[in-house]
Chain A
């Protein structure tokens, strides 16, 4: 088996634009594949629930254009996963449209594009539940029931390597995949070339965040992985970066609860005995992973559900007496809200985020009561009905102004209003599904569409 080289230019396509300089240096190394992930659940549940992208369209187009033009010039496959941040069907179609436009603009010769869709019908999941299927909770969550699905607005399944591998085996030059496991994007071509599941997925784990696995800290720079046998050599492409045993090893533990284990559909990689060796100033070789096969194949489901409309107000407090008694002031204002809307938390919600005290860490903040010079408060109100949410936000904010505190000297207003207005926030969502479902084969939740894109004649045959 010959070695395979993979170039990865970004850990989240278009979150900010990729850096072209180190990417072109990587292209000079003649990679066999160009691969990038475009999504994450880090941005919270709203993008999935509302089916919005958080990366700017102009940057999505920029990154896809840089990658596509070089991939076609080199004549190597390009794989993009979790299209448009969330990997919904809308995201896949958006990226497919951009690929067509870029191909036409650059008059690219015909190539084969495979789109893989990952969105799931909630009704179909309900039928599966009714039929006895188990939707098993992850991370200590209870299993999903009909009520959980009832609270869910949109669901994607997270594909593993198999659908992407099938697309490559079918001759795809460009793969635009819906929601995907990051490491599956890299594992797919390696498995297709005959590498073991262990090194295939492990390579993906190490490479999926691009230059985050190198030092010093830089985002959006390219890295090159050269896979041979049961080891991968990862090289930083930016002239000022290097991959070291420390940088690669610390990346292996990034964003995960267990640094020794990476779960994939059908098994996990055990990284307990991994070794990292410097082979040249910019390159570290990683090996020692073991693939442990699971008895069943489980696919992860991510789901988000709408909670309500959200309205916000911003107020400030400078009076040291009010700051000292801030909890009393909030209790007063909450009381006024509850007088009109009933107990907080029943059918609506209101939150006070106290910037200057503990807005950032809330219950996790161990710091003793501080005496800030001034306090900034964001009032967040949630209600099914937007107008009601606005009324709650106004009541909750203005009653800070009217707070009745003992021995107040400032009797013309206990709070400063930055602007007496209620801000319209994006709707509030919550993560309803962080679950897995057992499948007979890893392909069954995903749908594939293949087309020929001909930029030279602006024609397209399906």
Chain B
């Protein structure tokens, strides 16, 4: 096919500029709650313009391949974005990020193959862009897939570590860069293949030792990586849309990663190399009622808890990932409605990283039509917890662990937590005594104020609803 559609390069670049403006506006609006949804539309419109005008780019001569590719990708994207449960959205973001990184690496490989015959004649920045894209795109691809595997529980969420891991990863990086140099000075494609393979291993090896609780920060970092890698392919292809779009994501993603780390009071270095994994690996599925160090936990029944809730003046629900997994947001709302009908004030304490991503709980509770003013963020919730009669912890664990305040030995130490133990009574709804996602015992459970109600969060809440009706 020839180029019946081509317009001048100036026109194409002009529309890329329009697209860049829309992307900037989109990100700006995405960062404010009132305009966020519109911002997503604006950014998508910018993307549509950039993709659309590329069809008319003078360099584009053949359409068959890309048409099929876009069709296949659109079907996969639409189906997976629609089918995914709200609880599984974090890993879906990881997956979408991974394929973006993979695309950059593939572009780099294809460009290398096309340009390799006259490599010597190429400017350094083109070669550097190709190699950077291949390296960082591959790291992002493999790292994101491992993050997906951990969140999807295909891989253990617990940190996987072995001695000398940091040294090994450092060596992998050095070797990958050496292959990059090899690819730059020779014309042999084997070097870039080796570079990509090493980068894939490095990406996986770097994410495996990171605990599941830190995964949001890692995904955000890999998101920034993919952005930078995309920008590098912009340098290779001489394309401003790619440079601007990629760099915006690289920069805003880096800042977002830092902000997320700050919300958990953890530095990036601590997330990446701290290996939360210093915590000893606990055995699988400790029996309910038996805590790790032999301290006694108090078990309660739905009926007792219902009485306690019904006669409280303020109840604070502390939702966590267990609520999300059990899809218990609607029955939580039902319980809250019943209690409010009896004059109990019910509010929700949302830790910034409750669930597996910041904002995850807000999304789920909003889905169940929980009124927005009832959701308290950590700074507002902690003073209220002092005045709370019953704190109802639904599937939250690490974000309530008092060890974060009191035990400098704990890997959680220093993370701001919800001071659930300041409430008069604490009822913890939990499947078993298994430690949380970070793999750390929670001393809240052996606190004399605390009673445990074991079982699936949704079942337990349904029993509570029935019991409150009977009170």
The answer to whether A and B belong to the same complex is: no
- Interfacial residues, chain A to chain B (CB-CB below 8 A): none
